[in-house]
């Protein structure tokens, strides 16, 4: 199989190499997927660059990056129904705690990690569902359905935020989102009710004003540390903060007293570790939204396997207006 690999941490152009590797046959309970697309996410960049907390060297001698992907099952192992051969699927956790991810022509992994893709959903969209899709879905619905509430989504222009806005509106929620001014039109296209500049010095006041002076019952946050003071000011009593990132400030000072006396629930979302029952619920919800036409997953650019390093660079640079994929055929 053709695969992009690395054996040392470093810049993408220096450490990523395209090579041929022996195919990996499926073992008991496993399937082999001939991949169409591989999704590139910020976590893949951190893993390749060696910037994950506490990781000082690659965990495997040879690594194929990326956890998200889509394709067709071409082989199954013992205990997997032969009827799965030929099934269109999307992949989650492809390279989580495993050496070989989706930046390759094929991947072999446990059958449960290859989810049947609805007929109406493209392979391109399928390659976005693993990390961005499941993160957005769990962030919106963890803590119960938000129907009838107002939800605050920080970073509504990012891939996860953009999907979260759509899912929240589909669920019957009023959505306030933050973004940079240059991305206001993008966030509005997702259906947001109000979009605010996250650089505004009076952001908390603007959020409350956009909600008729009422506090917010649920916050979804891509930059927990940077937004902690704002969130403390706007969160409602018995409110909930679902945070999935904090790149700008990984060690924030936590205002325990104010949060305690609002009885705030804080959930740190790491979608790789989502329990099986919650993952199944998120998958079902995502599929429902997709088949009802309530969710679109914009793709900014598709690269070839040969140009995988360039795909990493564009994700690392940020300020994207869609997902970045690698065509694996």
Contact (CB, 8 A) for 109 and 98: yes
**Phi-psi sector, 267: left (phi>0), alpha (psi -120 to 50), beta:** beta
For residue 321, what are the contacts with CB-CB under 8 A and spacing of at least 6?
A: 157, 183, 186, 298, 300
Q: Which CATH architecture has domain 135-272?
A: Alpha-Beta Complex (3.90)
pLDDT of 54 reads 86
Query: What's residue 53's pLDDT?
Result: 85
Contact criterion met (CB below 8 Å) for 153 and 177: yes
Output the average pLDDT for the chain: 97
pLDDT tens digits, 51-86: 988 899 999 999 999 999 999 999 999 999 999 999
Residue among 118, 130, 124 at smallest CA distance from 43 = 130
Q: Average pLDDT, stretch 202-216? A: 98
Task: Give bridge partners of residue 24 from the DSSP assignment.
Answer: none
Q: What's the pLDDT tens digit per position in 269-306?
A: 999 999 999 999 999 999 999 999 999 999 999 999 99
Mean pLDDT, range 225-242, rounded to an integer: 98
69, 180, 184, 197, 323 from 298: Cα distances, Å: 15, 18, 16, 22, 6
Q: Could you identify the residue written with the tokens 């496993």?
A: 30
| Residues whose CB falls within 8 Å of the CB of residue 62, separated by 6 or more in sequence, listed in order | 5, 6, 7, 21, 99
Q: How far apart are the first and last CA of the chain?
A: 10
3-class secondary-structure state, position 160: helix
Instruction: Examine the pLDDT at 251 and tell me if it is beyond 90.
Output: yes
Same fold, 2-128+297-327 and 135-272: yes
Q: How confident is the model at residue 25 (pLDDT cuts 50, 70, 90)?
A: very high
Asked: is 2-128+297-327 a CATH 3.90.180.10 domain? The reply is yes
Distance between CA atoms of 210 and 122, rounded to whole angstroms?
A: 36
pTM: 0.97
Q: Residue 319: which pLDDT band, with cuts at 50, 70 and 90? A: confident
Residue 21 has pLDDT above 90, yes or no: yes
Among 45, 57, 53, 54, CA closest to 12: 45
Q: Across residues 218-243, what is the average pLDDT? A: 98
Reported as a single tens digit per residue, the pLDDT across 134-186 is 999 999 999 999 999 999 999 999 999 999 999 999 999 999 999 999 999 99
126: left (phi over 0), alpha (psi -120 to 50) or beta: alpha
Cβ-based burial of 40 (10 A; exposed 0-12, middle 13-18, buried ≥19): buried
Residue ranges of domains in the chain: 2-128+297-327, 135-272
């Amino acid at each position: 199989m053709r695969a992009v690999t690395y054996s040392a941490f470093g810049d993408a152009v220096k450490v990523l190499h395209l090579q041929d590797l022996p195919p990996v046959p499926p073992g008991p309970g496993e399937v082999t997927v001939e991949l169409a697309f591989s999704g590139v996410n910020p976590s893949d960049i951190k893993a390749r660059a060696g910037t994950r907390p506490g990781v000082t060297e690659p965990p495997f001698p040879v690594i194929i990056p990326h956890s998200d992907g889509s394709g067709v099952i071409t082989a199954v192992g013992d205990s997997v129904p032969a009827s799965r051969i030929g099934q269109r699927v999307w992949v989650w956790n492809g390279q989580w705690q495993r050496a070989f991810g989706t930046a390759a022509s094929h991947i072999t992994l446990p059958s449960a990690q290859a989810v049947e893709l609805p007929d109406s959903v493209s392979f391109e969209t399928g390659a976005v569902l693993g990390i961005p899709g499941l993160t957005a879905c769990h962030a919106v619905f963890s803590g119960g359905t938000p129907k009838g509430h107002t939800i605050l989504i920080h970073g509504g222009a990012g891939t996860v935020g953009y999907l979260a806005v759509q899912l929240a509106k589909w669920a019957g929620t009023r959505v306030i989102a933050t973004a940079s001014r240059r991305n206001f039109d993008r966030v509005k296209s997702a259906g947001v009710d109000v979009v605010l500049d996250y650089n505004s010095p009076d952001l908390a006041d603007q959020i409350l004003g956009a909600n008729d002076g009422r506090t917010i019952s649920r916050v979804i946050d891509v930059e927990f540390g940077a937004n902690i003071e704002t969130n403390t000011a706007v969160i409602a009593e018995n409110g909930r903060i679902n945070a999935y990132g904090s790149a700008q400030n990984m060690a924030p000072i936590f205002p325990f007293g104010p949060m305690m006396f609002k009885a705030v629930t804080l959930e740190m979302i790491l979608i790789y570790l989502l329990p099986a029952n919650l993952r199944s619920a998120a998958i079902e919800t995502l599929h429902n939204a997709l088949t009802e036409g309530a969710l679109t997953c914009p793709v900014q650019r598709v690269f070839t396997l040969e140009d995988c390093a360039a795909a990493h660079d564009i994700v690392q640079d940020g300020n994207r207006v869609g997902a970045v994929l690698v065509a694996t055929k």
